[in-house]
Amino acid sequence: MKKRLFTPGPTPVPENVMLRMAAPIIHHRNPEFMEILTRVHADLKYLFQTTQPVVVLSCSGTGGMEAAVSSLFCSGDKVITINAGKFGERWGQLVRIFTGNCVEEKVEWGSAIQPERMAELLKENPDAKGVCLTHSETSTGTAADIQTLCSLIREQSDALILVDGITAVGAHEFRFDEWGADICITGSQKGLMMPPGLALVAISERAQDIINHKNGIPQYYFSLKKALKAHAGEDTPFTPAVSLVIGLDEALQMIKAEGMENIWTRHERLASACRQGCNALGMKLFSNSPSFAVTPVWLPEGVDWSAFNKALKNKNGITIAAGQDEYKGKIFRISHLGFYDELDMLTVIGGIERALKDINFNFQVGAGVTAVQKAFLEN
């Protein structure tokens, strides 16, 4: 059976990227690899829309988040974190462990932090040294208005702005320099269309300054000071995941050829068509501020997640994501982050129709795929 992945990481890897990674391994001190890493460093700046360094760490996205928290803050530093889902919660866990002083703002799943509330938080905590945000919260398929939040935080305070862009970079418009973020992290297995194993961290000038002059939390592998020093010599502080860096080079060429604006527009269109397809099948959307990376949908009443998922996976070869934590069995999530096009949305909604039919859910056959077609062809 043909298999199709619609999960928010790992996301599908293009054939040319897979084949590039399958070439004989080269040594990381070899001029050939150093040329690749130099190009990757340059192209990552384009991805994040920055002139500042973007360092490559060999770890998952979480490692990138830890690197930021443990490199920027000292023990006792007050940091505000926004918990609107599983990954916002992770910011809080990291801050509690590494600084021990976390002001965690909980936001209902499916909603994003509102700028008004952010302004209040800053007023209540004028001594906050940082604010940790999530651009696209994967667990809830919800996007925050990072541009507005960044500009508001910059106006009101000196707090550093850390953005988890793990499932946003490459899906949502994001301009690191212009918007004034201090840290933005993404992972290779997301918008970058790569297997997991690399975290990419963009670092602002003022963040670099702090990183280079601070003696703070004990750290070694995740020291952004070490990473910045190595970056300046087009190097990495420890043996990098060579094959993944080579694949990243290939993926970044595809991204440059398509262009960031076009990529953002594509994701917006895919997400919109996906939502319209789900609506047309009588299903309710979960988020009131939907992400362009992943669409979360309430399981219709009477539909059992396990039966639905089995029909989708075993009979149609399609893998989507379940709900997480308390939303397990209540919502499902369709990803369209990375290497997807308009016909892929027809496929996933068509597959969902087939699975719904299989479990005897009552809906109008063809309504979903027609909505998808209309979304693309009549707009």
Kindly state the DSSP code that residue 327 receives in the 8-state scheme. G
Largest pairwise CA distance in the chain: 63
Verify binding: residue 254, a copy of itself, rule CB under 8 A.
no
Q: With respect to a copy of itself, which residue has the nearer C-beta, 62 or 111?
A: 62
If the CB atoms of residues 217 and 369 are measured against a copy of itself, the closer one turns out to be 217
36 Cβ contact list (under 8 Å, min separation 6): 245, 246, 249
Instruction: Choose between 18 and 367: whose C-beta lies nearer to a copy of itself.
Output: 18
Among 18, 74, 230, 285, binds a copy of itself (CB under 8 A): 18
Q: Residues 20-59 vs a copy of itself: string with x where CB under 8 A?
A: -xxxxxxxx-x---------------------------xx
> Which residues in the 289-308 window bind a copy of itself by CB under 8 A?
none
Is 20 annotated to bind a ligand? Reply is: no
Please state whether beta strands 294-298 and 198-203 pair in parallel, antiparallel, or not at all (unpaired).
unpaired
CA distances (Å), 132 to each of 84, 216, 264, 369, in order? 12, 18, 23, 39
Instruction: State yes or no: cis peptide before 300, omega within 30 of 0.
Output: no
Burial call 231-250: b when 16+ CB within 10 Å, e when fewer: beeebbbeebbbbbbbbbbb
Q: How far is the CB of 271 from a copy of itself (least distance, A)?
A: 20
In three-state form (DSSP H/G/I as H, E/B as E, the rest C), the secondary structure along 179-194 is HCCCEEEEECCCCCCC
Q: Is 367 in the site for a copy of itself (CB under 8 A)?
A: no
| Region from 79-87, 119-127, 236-244, 287-295 binding a copy of itself, contact rule CB under 8 A | 236-244
- Asked if 205 interacts with a copy of itself (CB under 8 A), we say no
Contact 140, 286 (CB under 8 A): yes
Are 56 and 229 in contact by the 8 Å Cβ rule? The answer is: no
DSSP string, 215-239: --S--STT-HHHHHHHHHTT--SS-
Q: Specify the 3-state DSSP secondary structure of 229.
A: helix
Binding to a copy of itself by residue 61, rule CB under 8 A? yes
DSSP bridge partners of 241: none
Q: Taking contact as CB under 8 A, which single stretch among the options 105-113, 169-177, 234-242, 263-271 is the one that binds a copy of itself?
A: 234-242
- Interaction of residue 375 with a copy of itself, rule CB under 8 A: no
The Cα 368–Cα 350 span in angstroms is 7
**Residue with Cβ nearer a copy of itself (47 or 95):** 95
- Our finding on whether 224 is near a copy of itself (CB under 8 A) is no
Span between the terminal Cα atoms of the chain, in Å: 34
Q: Which token pair is 352? A: 């969902």
Say whether residue 66 binds a copy of itself (CB under 8 A): yes
Q: Write down the least CB distance from residue 7 to a copy of itself, Å.
A: 5
Burial zone of 23 (CB within 10 Å; 0-12 exposed, 13-18 middle, 19+ buried):
exposed
d(CA 41, CA 150): 24
Please select the residue that binds a copy of itself; options are 34, 43, 86, 93, rule is CB under 8 A: 93
242 binds a copy of itself (CB under 8 A): yes
Q: Are 286 and 331 in contact (CB under 8 A)?
A: yes
Count of positions on this chain that bind a copy of itself (CB under 8 A): 50
For a copy of itself, which stretch binds (CB under 8 A), given 16-24, 122-130, 272-280, 369-377? 16-24
Q: Which of 56, 80, 185, 217 binds a copy of itself (CB under 8 A)?
A: 217
- Closest to a copy of itself by CB, 26 or 119: 26
Q: Which is nearer to a copy of itself, 27 or 106 (CB)?
A: 27
Stretch that binds a copy of itself, among 78-86, 90-98, 202-210, 283-291 (CB under 8 A): 90-98
The amino acid present at 254, given as its one-letter code, is: M
Q: Does residue 220 touch a copy of itself according to CB under 8 A?
A: yes
Query: Cα dist. 189→10, 82, 198, 286 in Å?
Result: 5, 24, 8, 24
Extract the annotated binding site. Answer: 333
Q: Which residues are near a copy of itself by CB under 8 A?
A: 3, 5, 7, 9-13, 18-19, 21-28, 30, 58-63, 66, 70, 93-94, 97-98, 187, 189, 195-197, 217-222, 238-244, 319
